Structure 1
Amino acid sequence: MKIKPPTEVVLLNGITIRNLLESVKNNRRGRLKSFLNDANNWQEFISDNERLISEFEQSHDYSASVTNYSMIKKPLITLYNSSKKYVECKYIAVMRDSYKNIKCPYCGQGVCSTLDHYFDKDTFCELSLNVWNLVPSCGDCNFKKLNKRINSSTERFLHPFFDEHFKNGLEMELYFVKIELFSNSNAYILNLQAHPDLDDNIKSVVNWHVRKMEMGIRNGLIIREDFSYWVNKVRKRITRLNNEHSVLSFLREEYEDENKFSWRGVVLNSIISNNENFMATYSIITDLNYLTSPA
């Protein structure tokens, strides 16, 4: 599910984040107008919004502003919450509509129905209207994420506008379904975690994201059903796929058709990209005492 960045949605034809915020400033009244029309305040406000992009690309973090925005926190949040009423904020509605009904990049299952402030607007109110801080998400993920504190470049959520796997359409390779057998009872468990082939930094991010978003619990049923799908698909062809090599070759060919994010694709990649996982799957395929759900 390659997510289009703001440059392909609202920052078109030379429009910049500065242009969007200038339009907002020019139409404000009251405290917000007074604050933003002060030259020093305005320069700090723009600087903070522009450095979000460069800082996150470099360090996957955003350092808190030195400017005190407390006096305009409420007006900024109110402006975002009421953005439909203001023509200068219509870009927020455009973003929301552009991402509507795509698969949520946070959980990979729900449908995007809202925008989430990656850096929460209560703590970082200066980024309330920043398009790079507005991540398409489903309602469940938005609620679960809420004001969870992002503590470092590794204790953070995955960001579909910046993280390379999303930018390259390789987000299925972020996740790994570990298969653990209990041969004495012919049972097995499936655990969702970061893929072992990832480098340590992104692996830490994925594991933190999976844990905080409770992805293993929320996607547990569909992951088990998709694992059963692959096991049963091979079992139906067991007279032809009668050895480890033929099964692995068959599954690798099937993965070539998985070109869009799905948990079925994540499960399949988890099987074929790790020998220990593949051998566990092969044991389940060839031992009918391991029960699976119907395909």
Structure 2
Amino acid sequence: MLEVDRVSKRYGEVLACDHLSFQVRAGELFGFVGGNGAGKTTTMRIILGVVRPDSGQTRWAGAPVDHVARRAFGYLPEERGLYPRMKVLDQLVYLAELHGFGVNEAHRDAETWIARLGLRDHRGDEVQKLSLGNQQRVQLAAALVHDPEVLVLDEPFSGLDPIAVDLLADVLRERADMGVPVLFSSHQLDLVERICDRVGIIRSGHMVACGTVDELREGSGTMLVVHAPAAAPGWADGVPGATVLNVRDGRTWLRLAEGADDQPVLKAALATGPVHEFSRHRPSLTELFRDVVGGGA
């Protein structure tokens, strides 16, 4: 298990992490999401030792993360950390050797990831001559080439086309199935919802929601979608236990309070005229994210 335990970090007046705690279990894909400036990148840099926390601790397998432990981590930074004039194969071999691989083993693993990530045609190219998407593939290969025990990836899907996104998702699932804890951040919430075992939502340095998507849905209350085309604006105001969340495409989206009955909502809708739709709605991760980051429950 990778543990972040009550980690805090301040930059002047900005509190990037505020007693932040969470765990990424062995064999788990953990999606780390939040708005810009929420503290995701700072947290990842603390885990990797790039930034020293003001307080708190990170642990791997029960022991504090030190330099020796970090040699077994695979890291993909948000900003690319490649040598632009170095050829793809040479770069991956060099990075594998930095992690203690012998020359033959480094070449073998570099060639494996070049093939797996669709870079065979570019193995002899300088990184700076590649497209942004292929540069991202090389950066991913650099994080994987030394067979890491932990993966920490900051926006790994950035710049990838849909085929490459599916390929990377498969690779991350395979690594997790091998017992590797995988922590990654992404703004592609539909993808996070599809592939992650658990999700943590961070806001202003706090972990404000954490669990499976189904667990987060349970905490969001019951949502209703009502399509009453003749209804005037504000038709649902005053319905006991109901809060209007949004009105779009002629439909009204409402949340019911815990234990509230949906029949008063239906009665109020029927009082306006015909009702074409009255249904319960399972919120997507994107909707949950907007609610939580926007200050909701």
Q: Normalising by structure 2, report the TM-score.
A: 0.25
Report which of the two has the higher share of helix: 1
| Larger RCO, structures 1/2 (Cα 8 Å, 6+ apart) | 2
